Amino acid sequence: MSMVSNSKRRKTAGDSLHINDLPIGFLVDVASYLSRPSFALFAVAMSAPSTSWQNYNLVYQPSTTTKAIVSSTQWETLDFEDIEKYLATKLVDADIFAVLRSINAKDLLRKLKLTGCVNIIGGGLMPLTGSIVLEQIDLRLTKKHEDPYALQKLIVSHEIVLPILESILAAPGCVLKHITFPLKWLRFPEEWARMLDEFGERYNQQLNNRRFSCAECNENMEGEEWITTDGSSSRFQEKVCYDCLRPFCSDCGPGFVSFCTSCNKHYCRDCSTVTECRECDGSWCKDCNGGMKDCEGCALPTCAYCLNTCDCCNLAACHSCFMGGKCCVEGCSRANCDACYDGEKYNVNYCGDCCGYFCLDCQLAEYKEEGKECKCAAAIVPMLLKENDALREDVEVVAKIKDQEIIKLQKEIEELKMK
């Protein structure tokens, strides 16, 4: 009978290896490969769950590992666009609070952009209370060059966030000079809008008290309106470039700072080229683009909304230069120049009664749905006749099939009678 060796013993819970057992230097090196927000979240996890960081009576302090990870890099900018969107959407106030507290954001963080953090209400920003280093905060939650109107259902609360911003404004030595509000706040009911305007007035006063000088002409900018507070819905930060945060006075602004109507941000010409469409009032920064192309007629930049491209020869021109038409029915993009118009495949034409361009397919659809009768309806007569002929052929085919089926049934009846 063989003897069982006693050289092996069952492992206990105390024998299992934990991540905290790894050398701190190794964990710091691992963290260095992460994006900045993930870097901070990893540091938080090395001490306690995010929810624990909001308990001010907690007896523990950040672990040695957390301190080592946090101190291994600079924390001037924290932009949550650097992490995957699905992860940003999972973050809540407890996570943001833990991150800001772990990196000592109140004393170190200059720029905070909460891109994609759609599930925060605002309490996670409490560690920033009274900060005298924060220069910029972006509460829009959309990506830098993403349509700000894309996010409509936001839960971030002005009742929680505005007092935190007020504490920053009131702090001696405040350096805050760029705020991006959620678009939802710009459509507040009158009572709430008044709160935002009152904050805007104090914000304007604070910036004017700091006596900024224009980055271009070096003139004093006291008296400028940095955020509009006239009760309108255009409470966008003005006079300061979104990227470099340099201020520009009203006189120099039009030549050096431009507004992108896509991402709703101001950029100086050193940070981003903003191009205006020759047809509409729209303007797009180089990253938003707006489908900008030079018109083949006047060679001026034209946005995708104002550019007509012939489906046949691919001629691309602005409304003013395009000799032809683009179907004006919503959802239809068919267009052709006069030279390519053939009334069949390339059939977009102008109707004087309707005062617009229509392709034959859309004319036919509107005639059927609304019974529209005008001069342009004559153009769809051949299509109606063609449809009528097709229907007649279908009816004849169906009738023929029925006749054949009747004959077959009659034969079967006769055969049954013979039996």
DSSP string, 244-292: T--B--TTTHHHHEEEETTTTEEEETTT--EEE-SSSS-EEETTT-TT-
The pTM for the full model equals 0.73
Query: What are 252-261's pLDDT values in tens digits?
Result: 878 788 888 8
Q: Per the structure block, which two tokens stand in for 75? A: 């924390």
Contact 237, 179 (CB under 8 A): yes
Q: For 42-56, 132-146, 283-297, which range has the lowest pLDDT when averaged over its residues? A: 42-56
pLDDT at 59 (0 to 100) = 44
SS3 142: coil
Q: Which helix (H) or strand (E) holds 357?
A: strand 356-358
Task: End-to-end CA distance of the chain: give it in Å, rounded.
Answer: 90
Type of residue numbered 153: K
Spatial distance between the Cα atoms of 291 and 306, rounded to a whole number of angstroms: 10
Spatial distance between the Cα atoms of 80 and 71, rounded to a whole number of angstroms: 20
Determine the longest span between alpha carbons in the chain, in angstroms: 114
Residue scoring higher pLDDT (66 or 380)? 66
- How many CA atoms, within 13 angstroms, populate the side-chain half-sphere of residue 413? 6
Query: What are 351-399's pLDDT values in tens digits?
Result: 777 778 888 888 777 777 666 666 666 566 666 666 666 777 777 677 7
Query: What are 133-192's pLDDT values in tens digits?
Result: 999 999 988 777 676 666 556 788 989 999 999 999 999 999 999 999 887 787 666 666
Spatial distance between the Cα atoms of 162 and 121, rounded to a whole number of angstroms: 12
Span 300-305, average pLDDT:
87
β-strands 324-326, 257-260 pairing: unpaired
Going by C-alpha positions, the residue among 236, 180, 248 that lies closest to residue 212 is 248
What mean pLDDT, rounded, does the chain reach?
A: 82
Residue scoring higher pLDDT (382 or 215)? 215
Spatial distance between the Cα atoms of 42 and 23, rounded to a whole number of angstroms: 15
Angle (nearest 5°) at CA 110 between 28 and 205: 165
Going by C-alpha positions, the residue among 139, 194, 193, 191 that lies closest to residue 165 is 139
Q: Which helix (H) or strand (E) holds 111?
A: strand 111-113
Q: Which domains are seen in the chain, by residue range?
A: 21-187 (3.80.10), 293-382 (no CATH)
Spatial distance between the Cα atoms of 386 and 379, rounded to a whole number of angstroms: 13
Spatial distance between the Cα atoms of 297 and 102, rounded to a whole number of angstroms: 58
pLDDT confidence of 57, banded at 50, 70, 90?
A: very low
Hey, what long-range contacts does 255-260 have (CB within 8 A, 24 or more apart)? 255/216, 256/215, 256/216, 258/283, 258/285, 259/283, 260/284, 260/285, 260/288
Q: Where are the beta strands (DSSP E) in 145-256?
A: 178-180
Hey, what long-range contacts does 291-296 have (CB within 8 A, 24 or more apart)? 295/321, 296/321
Burial class (CB in 10 A: 0-12, 13-18, 19+), 239: buried
Residue with tokens 């018109």: 295
Q: How far is CA 19 from CA 10, 24, 67, 69, 102, in A?
A: 21, 10, 16, 14, 19
Query: What are 312-355's pLDDT values in tens digits?
Result: 999 999 888 988 888 888 888 889 988 898 877 887 888 777 77
β-strands 293-294, 301-302 pairing: antiparallel
Residue scoring higher pLDDT (87 or 10)? 87
pLDDT at 372 (0 to 100) = 63
Question: Residue 3 carries which DSSP code?
Answer: P
pLDDT at 209 (0 to 100) = 92
Residue with tokens 């550019």: 307
